[in-house]
Each structure stands twice: as C-alpha cells, then as structure tokens.
C-alpha cells in the first residue's frame, strides 16, 4: 500500500483514537453499530446459560421481606449440550482430496497434510465439540487463524457470541467484523481490565486489488462493564502491530458459525439465535414449576400443632419475657390454643405433590421438544433429576432431520476455516519461506464426514442394507464399508475371505475334496 494511502487510512480510521474518548459500551465506538436489543439478548441468554437468575423475593409469616435462590432446570444448557453432541464429535473425518476411483493421485495432498497438522496442533476437533455447546445456547462463534511468529505455527482464536460483532454483511455472510478480548490484571493492588478490539476490514489498493486490514485498538478500564479509554498497544502487547495488511485473501480470516435458522427476533441482524431463544416463555414456566416444586419439598417438613396447655414456661436469664417451649430439640411444632375436648397434638403435614409436579414438567418438556423440533420423549423428568433420551434415534426421526440442518452450517464453517488457514499460510513468510505453498482447494474438494453413529443401530443398518442388497441396489463391498466403518481396501479383503469360506463350505467342493483324499487327484 502506498504511503499516501496509509496516511489517509490513519486519519479516516484512527482519527477517533486521537480524541481519547472513553468507551462505556461497544456501541460507543464509531465503527460499531449493533442493535442494543441484540446485545441485551445475548447478555441475558449468557446469564441464563450460566444459571444466573435473580433471587426470589417473598414476605414471610411475620411480614418480613426475605430472599432465596431461584431453583431452575437449566434447559438452555441441556438442550445446547444435546444438540452439540448430536452434530459433532471427535470421530468426524476431514479430508482434502480430488482423487477418485479413476484418479489415484491427490492434487491437494500437501494441503491435506498441512491442515491435519494445524488441526492436531490446535486440538481442533475436541475444541469444536466443546465450543458448539455455547453456540447452540447463545447463537454464534467466530474462529480466526493467526500466525505465531515465534514458532511459525498457525494458532486458532475462538470468540463466543458476546465477543464478536459484525461490521458489514450481506446475503453471502459477514465480510467485516470486530473481535473483542478482555484481560483482567491487578496493578498497584487494584483490578484493571484491558479490552482489545481487533477490526477486520477490506480496502482496495491503488490498482484496485483487495487488501485485508487488521487494526488493533487497546482500551483500559477500572470497571469490568466498561470498555475504557484507549491506551498504547505496548502497555499490554509489546509485539502487536496496530495495523497489518494481508494480500491474496479471497475471504475474511474469521469464520462465523450460527445455529440453523433465521433470526426472527431481529430480522436485520447478522447475528445468530440460540436454539432456545424462541422458547423463553416455555423455559420460564418450566423453571417456575420446578422452583415451586423445590420450595414445596423445602417446606415439606413435618408440622405439628400442640396445645398451649402442653407448653413449658422457661424464664429468661437475660431479662427478656419468659419463653414457652414444647421440646427444645424439636423444630416441627407450632403452639395453638385448643379446647379441653380437642386433641392436644395435631399433625397437619401435607404430602408433597410429586406426581402433579412431575406430570406438569413432563408436559412442558413436550412443548419444548416441539419448539426445538426434537422427537417426542427426548427429555424426561422423574421428580429427582432431568434426563435425555439414551436410546438410539432412528434416521427418520424429527431429531435427526433437525440435526442435519445444523450439520450443514457446521460443515460450511469448517470448509471456510480450512480455506482461511491455507490462504493465511500462503500469504505469510516465516524464516524466508511461505508457511504453506501448496494448492488451495475449493469447497467441493473438502470432505467433512460427520459421525452418525448415535442415530444408527448396527442390526437395523444390516437389515436395511440387506434388503437393499436383495433388490440389487448396493454392492456388498459398500455395505461392509458403511456398517463396519472400514476402508474400501479392508472391505475388499473381507469380501475375498468370505468368498473363500463359501467355496470351502460348498457341498460339491466338499465332496470333491473327499474324493481326492480317497482316490487322489486325476492327472
């Protein structure tokens, strides 16, 4: 980029920084304009996902205002955990190849080896399987590759829904965005909070070529909930550049994944929705019902009324009025004036309505399953704990179809991330050589094989493929591959062994071997 262009960008982009203005919220930055309702939604959902709810206020029998914890069934986490486990696990296979049965050589072998090394170095599959849970809980995740210039390795940075904000988007996705990261430190005995804003934007050079620009801004605050005042990068990041220019990229470095579905709460937002964001009223009713159930259990200890005639009067040595007690070691009684002809001790304890609450919560679970598009019976409550279905889910179930919709988004995300990693490696020189210097594939050359084992019962699969074999719809080698998850070479070896065993068991062959044993082999 020409020096004049850099000067122009400085005044256009960095002019705000000269003012020294303090940012209270992310929206105070002139480049960022996110609907405040979207920010509030994400914040509230995160709190609920973490199990943070306001305390319950109530008036006790003496008229005093009291508070207690709000007991909930964290169905946001449960639902998100369930969907994340169904969509992705570490058994997923990711391959880059253009080889076919007619073409044994792989043009993208270098790219495949490079990606496998990067993913293994970053423990990508494990991290993605864990990070997908907050994706489905809150609505989004951004992953950005970067180069550690000390080692020459590509690292992955993960940003949850409350740490990524789109700057520019269209029907093709988000093209520009900002990633926020916060660091808490203690300086001079006081807590301070540093917030790094990392802007990812596009510009054109004088020849009209796209240039990817990463701009870093550091802010410092004494308050956790404020961004703070802009400070020099060197105050926390000594080697971080304020601006980095990258040529040769076809797409943003960050890759953003959301749950499947349209953001109907804010149709103009590029941010995603958590899978339970449209079920908040149902979730509240579930939590209220469970809280009432828990409170009934808490207050369900035995209650006994005793006649005041059976109370003992004990003097108070401190000068306070005398106290009447029934039994100092028992806390279940309440004094009551009774007539002489009444029972002096009455047990008024009521049974806890376990069956009623259990039925109500399970009914609400059916509504939640409908809203989440999950099969009936996915969730169940037995009065003691909440459980998810452990039985095998069939491939024609509602849960399977819903899962497949989410899989398509994750697959697109993985393919985009792979291309971003390869383009970054090709654009970065370390120790005099490019980090990656092979062919960069397109989407059709990247295969992502999600493990569907949770939905597949092996006996059911064998029955299905057996019927398909009878009608001549699938070769036996393919059946072995799919049922037993083995490569084609192994399946072919098994087929040959099966054929040899069948020959050995053939009655004609057995008779011939017996004849040869008795009379010898005809010359």
Give the relative orientation of helices 124-138 and 36-49 as an angle to the nearest 10 degrees. Answer: 110
pLDDT at 122: 97
- Mean pLDDT throughout 112-130? 96
Query: Mean pLDDT throughout 223-247?
Result: 92
What does the alpha-carbon distance between residue 324 and residue 344 come to, in Å, rounded to a whole number? 16
Q: Is the pLDDT of residue 15 over 80?
A: no
Name the pLDDT band for 8 (thresholds 50, 70, 90): very low
Q: How far apart are CA 476 and CA 134, in angstroms?
A: 42
pLDDT score recorded for residue 439: 92
The pair of structure tokens assigned to 1 is 């980029």
Please state whether beta strands 93-96 and 446-449 pair in parallel, antiparallel, or not at all (unpaired): antiparallel
**Using one digit for the tens of pLDDT, what is the confidence trace for 433-448?**
999 999 999 999 999 9
For residue range 126-184, what is the model confidence (pLDDT) as tens digits? 999 999 999 999 999 999 999 999 999 999 999 999 999 999 998 888 999 999 999 99
Per-residue confidence band for 476, with pLDDT thresholds at 50, 70 and 90: confident
Q: Exposed/middle/buried for 233, CB within 10 Å: 0-12, 13-18, 19+?
A: middle
Residue with the bigger pLDDT between 458 and 472: it is 472
Q: Which range among 245-254, 334-343, 345-354 has the greatest average pLDDT?
A: 245-254
Question: Per-residue pLDDT tens for 36-71?
Answer: 999 999 999 999 999 999 999 988 656 778 899 999
Query: What Å distances lie between residue 484 and 235, 377, 459, 472, CA to CA?
Result: 57, 29, 11, 20
What is the pLDDT confidence band of residue 7, given thresholds at 50, 70 and 90?
Answer: very low
Of the candidate ranges 10-24, 49-63, 347-361, 409-423, the one whose mean pLDDT is the lowest? 10-24
Please give the Cα distance from 269 to 39 (Å, whole number): 11
Question: Does residue 2 register a pLDDT over 50?
Answer: no
Cβ contact 333:305 at 8 Å = yes
């Amino acid at each position: 980029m020409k020096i004049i262009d850099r000067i122009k960008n400085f005044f256009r982009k960095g002019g705000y920084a000269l003012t020294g203005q303090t940012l209270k919220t992310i929206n105070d930055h002139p480049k960022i304009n996110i609907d405040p309702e979207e920010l509030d939604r994400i914040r509230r959902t995160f709190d609920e996902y973490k199990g943070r709810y306001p305390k319950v206020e109530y008036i006790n029998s003496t008229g005093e205002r009291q508070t207690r914890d709000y007991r909930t069934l964290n169905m946001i986490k449960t639902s998100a955990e369930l969907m994340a486990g169904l969509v992705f696990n570490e058994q997923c296979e990711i391959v880059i190849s253009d080889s076919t049965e007619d073409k044994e050589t792989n043009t993208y072998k270098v790219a495949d080896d490079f990606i496998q090394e990067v993913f293994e170095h970053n423990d990508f599959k494990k991290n993605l399987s864990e990070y997908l849970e907050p994706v489905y809980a809150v609505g989004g995740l951004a992953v950005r590759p970067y180069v550690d210039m000390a080692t020459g390795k590509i690292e992955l940075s993960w940003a949850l829904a409350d740490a990524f904000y789109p700057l520019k988007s269209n029907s093709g996705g988000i093209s520009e965005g900002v990633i926020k990261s916060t660091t808490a430190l203690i300086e001079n005995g006081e807590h301070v909070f540093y917030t790094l804003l990392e802007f990812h934007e596009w510009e054109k050079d004088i020849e009209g070529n796209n240039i990817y620009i990463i701009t870093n801004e550091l802010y410092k605050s004494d308050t956790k909930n404020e961004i703070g005042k802009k400070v020099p990068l060197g105050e926390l990041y000594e080697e971080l550049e304020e601006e980095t220019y990258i040529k040769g990229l076809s797409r943003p470095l960050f890759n953003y994944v959301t749950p499947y579905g349209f953001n109907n709460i804010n149709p103009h937002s590029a941010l995603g929705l958590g899978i339970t964001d449209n079920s908040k009223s149902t979730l509240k009713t579930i939590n209220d019902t469970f809280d009432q159930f828990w409170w009934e259990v808490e207050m369900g200890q035995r209650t006994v009324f005793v006649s005041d005639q059976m109370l003992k009067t004990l003097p108070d040595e401190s000068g306070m009025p005398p106290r009447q007690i029934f039994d100092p070691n028992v806390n279940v009684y309440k004094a009551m004036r009774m007539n002489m002809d009444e029972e002096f001790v009455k047990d008024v304890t009521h049974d806890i309505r376990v069956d009623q609450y259990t039925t109500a919560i399970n009914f609400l679970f059916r509504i939640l399953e409908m809203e989440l598009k999950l099969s009936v019976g996915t969730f169940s409550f037995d009065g003691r704990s909440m459980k998810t279905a452990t039985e095998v889910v069939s491939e024609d179930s509602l849960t399977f179809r819903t899962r497949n919709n989410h899989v398509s988004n994750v697959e697109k995300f993985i393919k985009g991330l792979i291309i971003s990693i390869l383009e970054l490696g090709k654009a970065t020189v370390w120790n005099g050589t490019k980090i990656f210097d092979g062919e960069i594939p397109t989407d059709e050359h990247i295969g992502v094989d999600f493990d569907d084992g949770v939905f597949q019962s092996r006996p059911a699969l064998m029955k299905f493929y057996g019927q398909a074999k009878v009608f001549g719809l699938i070769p036996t080698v393919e059946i072995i591959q799919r049922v037993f998850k083995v490569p084609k070479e192994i399946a072919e070896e098994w087929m040959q062994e099966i054929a040899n065993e069948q020959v050995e068991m053939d009655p004609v062959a057995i008779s011939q071997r017996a004849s040869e044993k008795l009379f010898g082999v005809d010359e």
